[in-house]
């Protein structure tokens, strides 16, 4: 059976501030999803949150980029926004950048990750969702899962992984894409994906079967809106087992927290902390950035689950390390490398301050 998995998300209002989602907004989304399932548009769905982001996980048979599915997501976000407005939640409707839906949700603000595939005999999938960071945050974890034998031993000792994976990389500044083969081209690949604010891994494929292994959302809100309106807070779908890395290999990158951009006002670097869904409540200095991972077995398109995979005790040390890294970064206050370089900051007062001080700058001798 061919099934499409669509994960579409948006921040349509925070509770309190930007730290969490309100249960009434989640309940409204449940209502819309249940109606669509009853009407036969969806095979199944799961609604969740990551921090202040509402996450719609949907299965159907309409393929990727389908107008009906995108409209369902848009309508659900609009209805949730009404609830958020009634409660005066913070930033109600903030990620809905267009006044009306026009056929496709891409470019309108919400983040999307979708894949269509033939459901295998056993189809384990993990959906990662992050808050207070941007789309490039998946670059290193995806590289580790699909190209690093120190993370994924299957690349070395499992026959169906041994030929490697192909990485589709998007240049989001110039709207171009390129595909790299791993392991042959990893040095070339790393030249690009090591700069995650511009080059992002959009998708990964098994090189032998060409089957899709992973897909991520690469929308950059600031580029869409032309100004800061909120963080991208990306999502990523990964298929596991068999010709793909095992669930444990897919989760392993998050055991070693890395620094990502997007903390406080979208203008700071901070550690990406793996947490459970209930712990996705970025509170300290509006952070630190969080990642959750929900596991499902698909069964005829039905989402069997979820298992809250990053809740596992084996990520306790990573959480502790992330907190220590957070302290270390906070020590820098308004200085780089905690604060992002000038051109990367989402908030800045530089133009106003520069204008005010224009006449006081004098040439060096």
Q: DSSP string spanning 216-265?
A: E----HHHHHSS--S----EEEEE-STTS--HHHHHGGGGS--EEEEHHH
> Following CA atoms 223, 226, 228, 229 in sequence, which dihedral angle do they give, to the nearest 10 degrees?
-90
Only segment of 127-135, 151-159, 240-248, 354-362 that touches Mg ion (CB under 5 A): 127-135
In this complex, which beta carbon is closest to ligand F6R, that of residue 193 or of residue 345? 345
228 is known as an active-site residue: yes
302 is known as an active-site residue: no
Catalytic residue among 228, 279, 308, 312: 228
The SS3 of residue 123 is strand
Q: Which residues pair with 212 in a beta bridge?
A: 205
Q: In terms of C-beta distances under 8 Å and separation of at least 24 residues, what long-range contacts does 337-345 make, across chains too?
A: 337/269, 338/268, 338/269, 338/270, 339/267, 339/268, 339/269, 340/261, 340/267, 340/268, 340/269, 344/197, 344/261, 344/267, 345/265, 345/266, 345/267
User: Shortest gap between Cβ of 86 and Mg ion (angstroms)?
Assistant: 17
Per-position x/- string for 230-259, each x denoting binding to ligand F6R as judged by CB under 6 A, each - no binding: xx----------------------------
Which residue number has the CB closest to ligand F6R? 286
Window 52-71: residues binding ligand F6R (CB under 6 A) = none
User: Shortest gap between Cβ of 362 and Mg ion (angstroms)?
Assistant: 42
Please name the helix (run of DSSP H) or strand (run of DSSP E) that holds residue 13, with its range, or none: none
Catalytic residue among 28, 202, 207, 231: 231
Among 3, 5, 7, 14, binds Mg ion (CB under 5 A): 14
CA 335 from chain centre, in angstroms, equals 27
In this complex, which beta carbon is closest to Mg ion, that of residue 219 or of residue 233? 233
Cα gap 69→76, rounded to integer Å: 11
Cα gap 177→196, rounded to integer Å: 14
Count, residues near ligand F6R per rule CB under 6 A = 10
Place of tokens 């000792």: 157
Only segment of 14-22, 177-185, 285-293, 346-354 that touches Mg ion (CB under 5 A): 14-22
Q: Which does 53 bind (CB under 5 to 8 A by kind): ligand F6R, Mg ion, none?
A: Mg ion
In this complex, which beta carbon is closest to ligand F6R, that of residue 238 or of residue 259? 259
Per-position x/- string for 210-249, each x denoting binding to Mg ion as judged by CB under 5 A, each - no binding: -----------------------x----------------
286 lies in the binding site for ligand F6R (CB under 6 A): yes
Cβ contacts of residue 85 below 8 Å, gap of 6+? 13, 92, 93
Cα gap 112→217, rounded to integer Å: 5
In this complex, which beta carbon is closest to ligand F6R, that of residue 52 or of residue 252? 52
User: Shortest gap between Cβ of 49 and Mg ion (angstroms)?
Assistant: 9
38 is known as an active-site residue: no
Active-site amino acid positions: 11, 228, 231
- Interacting residues toward ligand F6R by CB under 6 A: 17-18, 91, 132, 230-231, 264-266, 286
């Amino acid at each position: 059976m061919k099934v499409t998995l669509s994960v579409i998300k948006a921040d349509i209002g925070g509770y309190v501030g930007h730290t969490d989602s309100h249960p009434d907004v989640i309940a409204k989304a449940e209502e819309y999803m249940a109606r669509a399932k009853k009407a036969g548009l969806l095979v199944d769905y799961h609604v969740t949150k990551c921090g202040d982001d509402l996450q719609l996980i949907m299965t159907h048979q309409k393929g990727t980029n389908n107008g009906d599915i995108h409209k369902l997501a848009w309508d659900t976000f609009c209805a949730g926004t009404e609830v958020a407005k009634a409660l005066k939640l913070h930033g109600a409707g903030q990620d809905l950048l267009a006044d009306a839906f026009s056929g496709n949700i891409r470019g309108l603000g919400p983040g999307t990750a979708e894949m269509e595939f033939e459901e295998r005999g056993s189809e384990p999938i993990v959906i990662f969702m992050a808050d207070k960071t941007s789309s490039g945050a998946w670059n290193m974890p995806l590289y580790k899962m699909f190209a690093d034998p120190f993370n994924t031993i299957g690349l070395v000792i499992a026959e169906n992984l041994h030929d490697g994976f192909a990485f589709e990389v998007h240049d989001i500044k110039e709207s171009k894409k390129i595909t790299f083969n791993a392991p042959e081209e990893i040095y070339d690949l790393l030249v690009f994906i090591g700069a995650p604010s511009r080059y992002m891994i959009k998708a990964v494929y098994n090189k032998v079967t060409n089957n899709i292994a992973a897909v991520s959302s690469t929308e950059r809100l600031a580029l869409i809106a032309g100004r800061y309106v909120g963080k991208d807070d990306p999502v990523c779908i990964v298929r596991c087992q068999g010709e793909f890395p095992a669930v444990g290999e897919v989760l392993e990158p998050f055991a070693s927290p890395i620094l990502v951009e997007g903390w406080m006002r979208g203008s700071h670097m901070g550690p990406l902390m793996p947490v459970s869904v209930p712990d996705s409540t970025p509170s300290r200095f509006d952070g630190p950035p969080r990642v959750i991972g929900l596991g499902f077995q698909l069964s005829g398109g039905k989402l069997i689950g979820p298992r809250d995979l990053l809740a596992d005790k084996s990520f306790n040390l990573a959480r502790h390390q992330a907190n220590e890294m957070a302290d270390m970064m906070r020590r820098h206050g308004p200085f780089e490398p905690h604060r992002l370089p000038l051109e990367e900051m989402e908030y800045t007062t530089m133009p106003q301050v520069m204008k005010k001080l224009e006449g006081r700058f004098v040439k060096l001798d």
